[in-house]
Amino acid sequence: MSIFCLFVLITITLLIGVYLYRVLRGPTVFDRVLGLNGISTKAIILLVVMGTFYDRVDMFVDISTGYALLNLVGSLAIAKYLEERREVF
């Protein structure tokens, strides 16, 4: 199971690269926000898998809960700000 957790960790890290490409090259700013949302979802999964790898799930799960809530606040703030401004760039 430890080796499999390592495999999952490496695969998800490679998938984050795809989202990072979308954040860097996205034609509009909304693509970048969506890409950041995807990256933070991957980070939450990554933290739980890392907890299983180190046998300390009880600690890592709390960190990932906090990360999920921070992701909600940040993404909603950016989305509301862009909605009020009403211009595409």
Partner 1 sequence: MSLNELSEVARLFMTPIAIGLMLVGLFFLFVAAVGVLRLPDVFTRSHAVSLTDSLGTLFLLGGLALYQGFSTNLVKILIVLVLLYLLNPVIAHATVRAALRSGLKPWTREDA
Q: For binding to partner 1 (CB under 8 A), which residues are involved?
A: 1, 4, 8, 11-12, 15, 18-19, 21-22, 28, 30-31, 33-35, 37-38, 41-42, 44-45, 48-49, 52, 57-58, 61-62, 64-65, 68-69, 71-72, 75-76, 79-80, 82-83, 85-88
CB atoms within 10 A of CB 39: 19
Distance of CA 41 to the CA centre of its chain: 4
Tokens read off for 23 = 């954040």
The rounded distance, in Å, linking the Cα atoms of 11 and 14 is 5
Q: What contacts 56, CB < 8 A, 6 or more positions away?
A: none
